[in-house]
Amino acid sequence: MTWQFIISGLALGAISSFHCVGMCGAIAFSIPTQHLSSVKKLLGILLYNLGRVTTYTLIGVLFGLLGRQISMSGFQQWFSIAAGCVIIMIVLQAFIKKPAYHLPGYNKAMKLITKLISRFIGKPSLGSIYMLGVANGLLPCGLVYLAITGALAAGTVEGAASFMAAFGLGTLPAMFLLAYFSFIISLSARNIIKKAVPYVVGVMGVLLILRGMGLGIGYISPVLPTGYNNAVSCH
């Protein structure tokens, strides 16, 4: 089922990319590639984005290990449902305009990551540009949190890593174009995408719930392997 996680990750990454343009655009503009030839500029921007994908993939491996423990403990089915419910609650929070709550230690993490980014942001070497992307991938982001939730629900290290890698690749086209051409997405286009994001994320939450219920619907809610034979009942 790895391909399903890849498609889901790509879709979430693609819809998230416009959010990334708004949040990380300043860093993308700061990549020191102006002095480089066209080929090296292309390579530098690609390395920057691959650095982000590397971080997301490693995050997927870490949370995949945790998700595997959940799966081996027999709670993957329930965790998938719980994760879907949390995602839907976050979406509802966005609709009712409630303030978002940061994870514990958010401010400390931001300071450490900002310090790490500052070490590489002004250095023109390709290695430093790649490391800038790696550091950028550590920045706290609500949509990355949602991607991590999907990775946890995968239940395998391979599925989680594939999901997070696909998420990163889904954000790559918009971020690459932003850095290479230094264009700014029009405000109207960003508003349209911003309005669409909650619906796409909500669908992801519903799919996680259906997956956990094991209703025997191919690709959407398959019967889970031995150990998860009893589908969750709504009664």
Cβ contacts of residue 102 below 8 Å, gap of 6+? 140
**Lowest-confidence range among 60-64, 90-94, 203-207?**
90-94
3-state DSSP assignment of residue 39 = helix
Q: Does the predicted TM-score (pTM) go above 0.85?
A: no
Does the pLDDT at position 206 exceed 90?
no
The stretch 95-118 carries a mean pLDDT of 72
At residue 62, the pLDDT reads 92
- Highest mean pLDDT of the ranges 36-50, 111-125, 174-188: 36-50
Token pair 């031995």: residue: 226
Tens digits of residue pLDDT in 8-20? 788 888 877 766 6
**Where do the domains of the chain lie?**
2-213
Residue 174 and residue 55 in contact, taking contact as beta carbons nearer than 8 Å: no
- pLDDT tens, position by position, 132-189: 999 988 887 767 877 887 787 777 888 889 999 999 999 888 888 877 776 556 667 6
pLDDT at residue 81 tops 60: yes
Is the pLDDT at 35 greater than 60? The verdict is yes
Q: What's the whole-number average pLDDT of the chain?
A: 76
Residue 210 has a pLDDT of 83
CA distances in angstroms from 15 to 46, 163, 197, 201, 230, listed in the order given: 20, 15, 6, 9, 34
∠203-206-211 over CA atoms, to 5°? 125
**pLDDT over 80 (residue 218):** no
Indicate the Cα dihedral angle 26, 27, 29, 33, nearest 10°. 170
pLDDT at 107 over 60: yes
Run of H or E residues at 21: helix 2-29
Reduced to 3 states, what is the DSSP secondary structure of residue 44? helix
Per-position DSSP letters for 99-112, written without gaps between them: PP-PPTTHHHHHHH
Query: So what's the pLDDT on residue 189?
Result: 66
Q: Provide the token pair at 194.
A: 């911003």
